[in-house]
Structure 1
Amino acid sequence: MNGRDEYILVIPAYNESATIREVVQGALRHFDTVVVVDDGSSDDTLEKLLDLPVTLRQHPENLGKAASLWNGMQVALKLGAKGIVTMDGDGQHDPADLPQLLMAAQIHPDRLVIGSRLWNRDAIPKARYHANRFANFWIAWASGQAIEDSQSGFRVYPAQLIRLCQFKLSRDRSFVFESEIIIEAARHQFLCAFQPVQTTYPKNARPSHFRPVKDIVRITRMVFWRLFIRGFFLSGLWRSLSGNQSLKPRKTLDVC
């Protein structure tokens, strides 16, 4: 493996028949290996991909996004990935931004690179924007670093980080996983870097599975418990308020 071949893309998919094919076709322009994990879809998500050169995995039932991501990551590790890129299958993440994320990961191989959407406030539903900002504060505190977008699933994980992490996965904690892994990454000395990306909400996409109030409550509970067992980690709060992990300006990260 060398260059972009060192990175493998993982896409979790649950009832994404309206968007998944276009997303995967866009991703294949930038990756030699794309892993799609169908999470027990009841529509024809899987059938949309059968003629494309992708690695497919299918859950017999809906296990949740966390399980889809984690299982896809394990496949990527077995295939020899140096870094694991994740993006959603609903069209929210633009495959055209993938080269920017890859370049950021190559420049910062020891960072968890996250595609930050919050710079473009007008593109994000108001409830989501405020829920995200609320979650950012708590996750920044618990991880001891500035956090721009804790809920973006558009990421590049160093393979070594995934090998070090262990999680208890359950369907009702699916949207806790991507927050918890930021905290776990910091515990293993993998800080975050944020690359601005575009975000869209296609009209033909299925309704979002993210529930701003319910899922943010679960995330806050997880973070509170982690803070509690660390004596509320006041040094982490200080670092979160004084740091900046942004990779701006965007134009410095050219297409690879």
Structure 2
Amino acid sequence: MFKPCIVIPFYNHEGAIAQTLASIKSAGLPCWLVDDGSDQRCTAVLEALAAREVSWLHLIRYRTNAGKGQAVMVGCAAANQEGFTHALQLDADGQHDVADIPKLLALAESNPTALITGVPIYDDSVPRGRLYGRYITHFWVWIHTLSFQIKDSMCGYRVYPLASTLDIWNTQHIGRRMDFDIEIMVRMFWAGASVLSVPTKVTYPLDGVSHFNMTRDNLRISWMHTKLFFGMLARLPRLLWQRFSSRRSV
């Protein structure tokens, strides 16, 4: 059975969320919008949207900001309890190309145990510092996995198989904030999930709001890479066997 939904983590994007929701409505999927402790100015916006789109939009709110990863997994857990099998995650600020939703879902349906991820095709709006930082993370992820299967681990446009994702979330210590997207993908790969990619356009809105803190979040991601490196060493025999086996099966 393949029963997908949408999960959107939300934090102080009140200027963009209405358009983002309008753009995904035609997909015909239930959506869990998880407000990760946004400011009070967002309250009226979110409540009005939830009231207007009550047939398909489920709003979850909590007061204290706990991080993007926590918001995603709260939404995934709620969807799982309602019997959904897969959750398509996308950002609230409208940077993802919703025209690719059918491609992501079709790949997930034909590969139900895989983690499906977008691989960004950027235009000139991408901040150069963020772009160069991604290449550093790509390098480390290839080391953590001893594989080039993960082409991009930072894109927040992906489809999670809910049962296996929540199992990893509930049994391992995974970062809750900007380190989440990277770490959950690496740990799912370690657990045996295939990571399949779909190229997709990503645009950074000129008036967009970024919550990425260059110092704090880069330190957090650096610590995460340190943990994953030692985790890779502990799994080295199995990862080498996995790599050898995949080559033999080609």
Distance 1:169 1:128 in 2: 22
Match of 1:227 among 223, 226, 229: 229
Match of 1:90 among 85, 88, 93: 93
Listed as ranges, the gaps of 5+ residues in structure 2 are none
Distance 1:232 1:169 in 2: 17
Q: Would you identify which runs of 4 or more consecutive aligned residues in structure 1 move more than 4 Å? A: 232-240
Asked if the contact 2:145–2:232 (Cα under 8 Å) also holds between the matched residues in 1, the reply is no
Deviations along 1:197-218, one digit per CA (max 9) or x if unpaired, are 1111122322x11234542332
Residues 212/98 of structure 1: CA separation in 2 closer, same or farther (3 Å cut): farther
Matched, 1:27 2:24: yes
Aligned to 1:246: none
Q: Which amino acid aligns with 1:183?
A: V
Distance 2:64 2:162 in 1: 27
Q: SS state of the match for residue 231, structure 1?
A: helix
Aligned to 2:131: 129
Q: SS state of the match for residue 33, structure 2?
A: strand
Distance 1:19 1:48 in 2: 14
Q: Which amino acid aligns with 1:115?
A: G
Match of 1:185 among 181, 184, 188: 188
Asked if the contact 2:138–2:152 (Cα under 8 Å) also holds between the matched residues in 1, the reply is yes
Structure holding more helix per residue = 2
- Note the C-alpha offset of 1:229: 4.2
Computed over aligned residues only, the root mean square deviation of the Cα atoms, in angstroms, reads 2.5
Deviations along 1:76-111, one digit per CA (max 9) or x if unpaired, are 111111111100001111222211111121222221
Q: SS state of the match for residue 22, structure 2?
A: helix
- Note the C-alpha offset of 1:226: 2.6
Deviations along 1:130-169, one digit per CA (max 9) or x if unpaired, are 1111111112221233222111000001122223213446
Give the % identical residues. Answer: 29
Distance 2:190 2:206 in 1: 39
Give the TM-score normalised by structure 2: 0.84
Q: Which amino acid aligns with 1:65?
A: K
Match of 1:69 among 72, 86, 95: 72
Listed as ranges, the gaps of 5+ residues in structure 1 are 244-256
Asked if the contact 1:138–1:220 (Cα under 8 Å) also holds between the matched residues in 2, the reply is no
Matched, 1:139 2:141: yes
